[in-house]
A and B are shown apart, each in its own frame.
Chain A
Amino acid sequence: MLLSIYVQAQDIVVHGTVNDDSGLPVTGATVLLKNTSEGTYTDFDGKFELEAPSDGTLVISYVGFTTVEVPINGQNSITVGLKVDLQALEEVVVVGYGTQKKSVVTGAIASVKASELEDLPVTRIEQSLQGRTSGLTIVTNSGQPGSSSTIRVRGVTTLGNNDPLWVVDGVIVDNGGIGYLNQSDIASIEVLKDAASAAIYGSRAATGVILITTKKGQSGKLSVNYNGYTGFSGPARKLNLLNATEYATLMNERYANSADPNSFQLPYPNPQSYGEGTDWQDLIFNNSAQRQSHEISISGGNDKSTFYASFGYLDQDGIVTSAISHYTRKNFRLNSTHKINDYIRFGQTFGYSHEKNTGIDSNNYYGGPLASAINLDPITPAIETDPALINTGDYANPNIIYAPNGFPYGISSHVGQEMTNPLAYVQTKLGNYNWADNFVGNAYVEVEPIKGLKARSTFAGKMAFWGGRSFNPESFLTSSFVTSTNSLSKNTNKGFGWNIENTISYQKEIDGHDFTVLLGQGAYVDNITDGQSVTYNDLPVNNYKDADFGFDISQDNITANAYKNDIHKVISYFARLNYAYKDKYLLTAIIRRDGSTNFGTNNKFGYFPSFSVGWIPNEEAFWPENDVVNQLKIRGSYGVTGNDQIGAFGYLSTISGGRNYYVGNETQGSIVTGNSPDAPANPDLKWEETSQTNIGFDTRLFKNFTLTFDWYNKKTSDILRYVPLPGYLGSTGSPAVNIGDMKNTGVDLSLGFSKHYEDYGFSLNGNVSTVKNEVVYLGTDTDYISGDGIQASSVNSIIRTQVGHPINSFYGFMTNGIFQNQAEIDAYTNSSGGLIQPNAVPGDFKWKDINGDGTITSDDRDFLGSSIPKVTFGFTFNFNYKDFDLLVFAQGAAGNKIYQAIRRLDIGTANFQTSALGRWTGEGTSNTFPRLSSVDPNNNFTNPSDFYLEDGDYIRFKTIQVGYTLPKDIMTKFGIDKVRLYVTGENLFTFTKYSGFDPEIGGGVFGIDRGYYPQARTGMLGVNLQF
């Protein structure tokens, strides 16, 4: 496998071997004849052969090792020992517009390298960050394949959009769109956490910045990598729901407790006759949902050009109704760098992905298979085979759905509204899908006319196309879920954004004073988005396979819509100074000026300064050599970042249509568009600002331990939001204003330990983050903002954002046990002797009279907790013994609450979880679960209260992987560098007290579980190949 590309006739043939410190051969090292471009690479045994002049000098280099020059001196055989380059091995961290040695970084930056991600079977890049860095809270939005995650960098920074800024190779990519990336293509991920690090992205950095660098080719031999796995997923747990007998028993009791004793008749006279009944969960869950991924890359290059190309394919079934919950992605990447001459370099990255997915409603108690499986009664059969019922009642409807065996799917006569037989529901959704095509790339040219002076121009863009197609057949699922006219719809959308950045930097070192000055300018455009949709109603066919836009549909039955978004532009100027004295005293100062189209002439521009300092005492002469603290760096920073994320034209008063009226009669009249002002103008609208102080240190202790600690205090002021005006002003919209302050303080801690012996080694890396959020100000007239409400109680929202409390706290009624008897009700009196709960009967909740006014009203609500975890943590344990390796990765959260709202409250006959078996049935039976009753004057179930609140703490073993690398000497014979086989278990164990499907609930739902699509438990078999 000798690979030589510049071979010329020379005087002698040199045979050589390149070894590392421990005498192992170094494969792929570059062997160059000094002052020429001629050379070769070492083979798998570290051997090379080169014709060279006998008086020449060989330059041997390899990434991570110190370059060595060896004079030939007429020798035909040379053995070279390469030494590990401590300087080069030291981690380099990507910062905005450049890289920096980790040792001199003064900001709080978390870095994740490719090596930590390589073997993890994740479908979206956010998941690979979860639990792996401190200061980041990542919660999956749904267990549905392809779902995004909710990411918060150091807490919730603002009232609006809190997604961090994603910058992929210099391209700004929105949070939802980041899914186009292929895991194997990532070289590194850097999270800029403190203001001083992020300030270089000034305007858009307030909620944190995540920089992703994709892989580049290495000059050297051509390298091919394959990583593939295949496996099966299933649900990690099911809810414990009542079976049919239990259901009938409890429904009887519920009815009996409120029925008129004179006309009393049990709805289910013989509960035992129903047996176990239907387990709807069994019918929707797939215990062998398949999942596979293949990623192949090829990279290489020479001293002029390098390239990296890859292809990826991912195919994943959802674990819930897989037929309509499925995701596939194909991606392609091509990155290259070129040295045009000694002064000019050119490079580009390009990524493409095609995604296709189909999914069900998640976290929505109003419908979909999950909600139906939870709420449907277990009495209704999945398929109705009783001849006495078929063709009568609902089953007489011609549009009911039939199972493959010719019998109709069961239709519940006990639980109605949106709850439908999930098997029938699936049949009406088959063939529907959404798709997306993403093109993301950049190109840059870098000129270095004299050493240290670099000018760089980058153009980057992202174009996305997405859409969907759906067919809604004529169907009858229940009498309240009827489609009487079929329809075929599709929509297509296009989004485009681009940015240009130009930087010039100069680096110079004089007598230990190392300066780097960077000046830059950028222009950013996004949200160039438009789309259209069309629906054909009343097609002459009624199944998705035949439905087509080719049918001639009358114009009356065609509806079409188009839209466009308002373009958003930002223009920026920035400057950065890095200064280091003898790598001991460090300083970084940044200033950035940004202008945004979202603000009017009064306040278009904002200024965002920051500075940070560092000191490395162990470099000082006075620092004693010791075995305890080997290295120490103390850091401090302060900076201001901005946010312009509010809709376009908030500083103007716009006029909108859609305030229409029909004028005239049926034949000659028409819909007339009415136009009127939206919201009052706010010409003073300006940048929201977040200032952040960070103090931390990095240290190496006892040689093998590393510790990074950061404390931060972050304050956001002039929060951009829409404030509803009093209704009497008649404004249709709400004006955009800068009202609101918020504070986050916390600690990020990372601890690492690693030790390696001859045959084995192990390492443990863990991190813990804490965050405390507090709303400081919401306006002079506003104490709180009410958030999400709960079904059946739309007026009493369970979420409240109030000054002095964390954002989106739970706010509701508080239970204080259950009245066991009438005496307890009679004893619960107010100051004037009246009953506090006159409507209560034994078995009802005793509500706390929070405001002490002697009655229970909506004023008797209080703060019940927060969905924001106080602590998040993760740890990774690696162990290897000879050719075996083991990885255990776990993450979790603590100190948060979850509001378990998965049962539909407005459907009294909806099924219960088995916790209802412990309901109050008489004195002393329960002090936590109230009596069942058809009427609920005490609002036991409809009051949003702590009854539904549970601890959300969990620890989850996300990945457990065992790998075996086949012996290298055998593989080499087949021309293969490396073969590693592995077995991975994902989400094998989750420890939590939470009673829902999954304690990890994301997606901006503030910890309210409305029937969350649970994450899958997966077993996979995979292989890494390298040749």
Chain B
Amino acid sequence: MLIYNFKKMNMKRNTLNYLILTVILTVGTLVSCSKDYIEEQPKGNFLEDNYYQNGDQAYSGLIAVYDKVGKESGGFENMVTFMNAASDDNYAGGGGPTDGAGIHGFAHYTIDPGTMPASYWNDYYQGVFRANVLLSKLPDIPMDENLKARFTAEARALRGYFYFQLVRMFGNIPLMTEPVPASEFYTIEQAPKADVYAQIEADLEAAKANLPSTIDVATEGGRFTKGVVQALLGKVYLYDGKNSQAATELAEVNGTPGGASQYGYKLLDNFADLWEVSNTFNSESILETTNTNKSNADWGFWGSGADLGNSINIMVGPRSYTRLNSSAPDFAPGWSFNVFTQSFYDVIKNDPRFDATVADLKAMQDAGDIDYVLGDQDTGYYLKKFMPYNSEATSGGGAKELNYRQHVYIIRLADTYLLEAEALGGTGSRAQALLDAVRSRVGLPSVPVSMDAIKKERRLELAGEGHRWFDLVRWGDAASVLANEGFVAGKNEVLPIPLAELEGTKLVQNPNY
């Protein structure tokens, strides 16, 4: 409301009073605004300088390192579907030949530094950086010393794991064991591969001593134990050509073939039970990613640290899947990535693991039980181990496509059995026993152990779990097996270093890229 009639002020008041008022108005406010006025401290997040003050903050720092273990199954650019696509067992698949330039490029060996998805490099280096920060802070954090020793061991083991992933994928990588000062941001060079392996082995050896043999998986499942580290170490030694050390470590993990090991590891009786979504942290599982349907993952932060859903599930689901007969499995529709190749189908079709490994949509469609839309290079043979089910679709927040909860094995006992058998050169009674144990679990008779037998067994046992491409490269078989896919020897044993890494840095691209 406006007031039109102002009380008349005394017109005779002299101008001096107003001059004084003027001065007060301006000078007064000038003085009251000091430099402090524009000093602000962030609220709702911490500063690096004042964080890492206690055990809880150290644990939170450690979880940020674990975050990157989720790369195995998190986001469009997860490890499993990417590595599968490059193997002879699976195609890239998806909606079309350009649905994911990186995964299709890798599958057809047309990948170049420009199409290489940078996250495979960046994510693991983020893990390395977080581990390095935590390791540099831990000594000064006032907290329980036993806990500190365990955190230190976990951080080193995780760093070792990340470097192992990096060196396996990219070969020639920079090696940093502490946070890099700004002056050296652009002067880092790649380390000799031997130095990288030496560092990985040193980290894992150091971690082994300070990690518990067993943990309560109800509250700590997913964290590294001594068994996890030994399994990793055995695998690393194998890649590093130190077969006897590999066999030693793996033997401690594996124990008596078919029995329970010192850490309680034991093959599941029923192969199909491995893919029961609720069967987490089972006795065969050594290291698994811990996905959940509770992170309300949504497209806006898909694949980031806050997304804890399993993305493999939606990626491998059949496109526009509809059931025409209620007896057909209740798969949820997905994006048709990683369909099995015909040649793999031909190998596994009579194996007892077929039903748990392959969803034969071709047969179901031929029988008129289902309908679905063919994706890229569709064979009708879908990756059953990670098939999404409508019953698993979240009823909570976020996008249902992104909130599948299936955990994914990074290392399981059948894998370490076969790795040990391989480390033993594929000969001898223990190698035979290890191979037999894997086979007898699925009701297969013994076959004489040999590298060929081990290779065949790994292919069938671990199909679609992201191991095949690494195995082929490790065995030196990639160039011959993958020749039809476009694999070039001397080039495609490693991936190209993402283009952005070479701009303004001292990094050198991998040969022939």
Q: Which residues of A contact B (CB under 8 A)?
A: 302, 304-305, 307, 334, 336, 338, 340-344, 393-394, 396-397, 416-417, 445, 447-450, 453, 455, 457, 478-480, 482, 484-485, 500, 502-504, 519, 521, 523, 535, 537-538, 556-557, 559, 564, 566-567, 569-571, 573, 595-597, 604, 648-649, 652-669, 671-677, 680-681, 724-732, 779-782, 792-796, 857-858, 905-908, 935, 942
* CB-based contact A727/B498 at 8 Å: yes
Using A664-B217, A727-B500, A781-B186 as known contacts, say yes or no to A502 and B30 having CB atoms under 8 A apart: yes
A500, A653, A660, A681: the one contacting B295 at CB < 8 Å is: A660
A417, A665, A675, A730: the one contacting B51 at CB < 8 Å is: A675
Chain A proximity of B365: nearest CB distance (Å):
13
* CB-based contact A668/B218 at 8 Å: yes
B99, B130, B173: the one contacting A659 at CB < 8 Å is: B130
Instruction: Please name all residues of chain A whose beta carbon is closer than 8 Å to the beta carbon of B333 when the two chains form the complex.
Output: 479-480, 482
* CB-based contact A655/B45 at 8 Å: yes
* CB-based contact B39/A597 at 8 Å: yes
Closest B residue, CB atoms, query A573: B30
Measured between alpha carbons, how far is A567 from B180 in the docked complex, in Å? 31
Using A661-B67, A672-B60 as known contacts, say yes or no to A729 and B98 having CB atoms under 8 A apart: no
Instruction: Please name all residues of chain A whose beta carbon is closer than 8 Å to the beta carbon of B500 when the two chains form the complex.
Output: 724, 726-727
Closest A residue, CB atoms, query B162: A730
Instruction: Please name all residues of chain B whose beta carbon is closer than 8 Å to the beta carbon of A781 when the two chains form the complex.
Output: 186, 503-505
Using A569-B37, A726-B186 as known contacts, say yes or no to A453 and B22 having CB atoms under 8 A apart: yes
* CB-based contact A571/B125 at 8 Å: no
A653, A660, A728, A792: the one contacting B174 at CB < 8 Å is: A728
Measured between alpha carbons, how far is A668 from B319 in the docked complex, in Å? 35
* CB-based contact B281/A340 at 8 Å: no
Chain A proximity of B92: nearest CB distance (Å):
14
Measured between alpha carbons, how far is A397 from B396 in the docked complex, in Å? 22
A455, A571, A673, A724: the one contacting B25 at CB < 8 Å is: A455
Closest A residue, CB atoms, query B182: A680
Among B38, B65, B306, max chain A CB count under 10 A is at B38
A307, A479, A597: the one contacting B40 at CB < 8 Å is: A597
Measured between alpha carbons, how far is A731 from B59 in the docked complex, in Å? 19
* CB-based contact B133/A653 at 8 Å: no
* CB-based contact A674/B64 at 8 Å: yes
* CB-based contact A793/B60 at 8 Å: no
**Using a Cβ cutoff of 8 Å, how many contacts connect chains A and B?**
316
Chain B proximity of A355: nearest CB distance (Å):
25
Within 8 A of A (CB), among B217-248: 217-223
Provide the B295-307 mask, 1 if CB < 8 A to any CB of A, else 0: 1100001001110
Measured between alpha carbons, how far is A649 from B176 in the docked complex, in Å? 27
* CB-based contact B397/A654 at 8 Å: no
Provide the B93-119 mask, 1 if CB < 8 A to any CB of A, else 0: 001111101000000000010110010
* CB-based contact B222/A662 at 8 Å: yes
Comparing B3-11, B144-152, B266-274, B457-465, the segment that makes contact with chain A is: B3-11
* CB-based contact A674/B67 at 8 Å: yes
* CB-based contact A795/B114 at 8 Å: yes
Using A569-B40, A595-B35, A908-B96 as known contacts, say yes or no to A730 and B126 having CB atoms under 8 A apart: yes
B60, B118, B219: the one contacting A675 at CB < 8 Å is: B60
* CB-based contact A656/B25 at 8 Å: no
Comparing B205-213, B286-294, B422-430, B437-445, the segment that makes contact with chain A is: B286-294
Q: Which residues of B contact A (CB under 8 A)?
A: 2, 4, 6, 8-9, 11, 15-16, 18-19, 21-23, 25-26, 29-30, 33, 35, 37-40, 42-49, 51, 57, 59-67, 69-70, 95-99, 101, 112, 114-115, 118, 121-122, 125-130, 132-133, 173-174, 176, 180, 182, 185-186, 188, 217-223, 278, 280-281, 290-292, 294-296, 301, 304-306, 308, 319-322, 333, 371, 373, 390, 393, 395-398, 400, 405, 498, 500-501, 503-505, 507
Instruction: Please name all residues of chain B whose beta carbon is closer than 8 Å to the beta carbon of A661 when the two chains form the complex.
Output: 63, 66-67, 69-70, 222, 290, 308
Chain A proximity of B140: nearest CB distance (Å):
16
Instruction: Please name all residues of chain B whose beta carbon is closer than 8 Å to the beta carbon of A535 when the two chains form the complex.
Output: 397
Chain A proximity of B391: nearest CB distance (Å):
12
Instruction: Please name all residues of chain B whose beta carbon is closer than 8 Å to the beta carbon of A725 when the two chains form the complex.
Output: 185
* CB-based contact B290/A730 at 8 Å: no
* CB-based contact B47/A655 at 8 Å: yes
* CB-based contact B48/A654 at 8 Å: yes
* CB-based contact B99/A906 at 8 Å: yes
* CB-based contact A652/B47 at 8 Å: yes
Chain B proximity of A145: nearest CB distance (Å):
26
* CB-based contact A663/B222 at 8 Å: yes
Chain A proximity of B123: nearest CB distance (Å):
9
* CB-based contact B219/A663 at 8 Å: yes
Closest B residue, CB atoms, query A535: B397
Known: A556-B396, A796-B114. 14 other contacts (CB 8 A): A343-B15, A344-B9, A447-B21, A450-B15, A564-B43, A571-B33, A597-B38, A661-B290, A664-B218, A669-B218, A676-B130, A728-B505, A730-B132, A781-B505
Instruction: Please name all residues of chain A whose beta carbon is closer than 8 Å to the beta carbon of B67 when the two chains form the complex.
Output: 659-661, 674
* CB-based contact B395/A485 at 8 Å: yes
Using A304-B4, A450-B15, A727-B121 as known contacts, say yes or no to A675 and B46 having CB atoms under 8 A apart: yes
Measured between alpha carbons, how far is A269 from B98 in the docked complex, in Å? 28
Sample (8) of A-B pairs whose CB atoms are under 8 Å apart:
A344-B18, A653-B48, A662-B222, A666-B292, A727-B125, A730-B122, A730-B126, A782-B504
Using A661-B67, A726-B501 as known contacts, say yes or no to A393 and B4 having CB atoms under 8 A apart: no
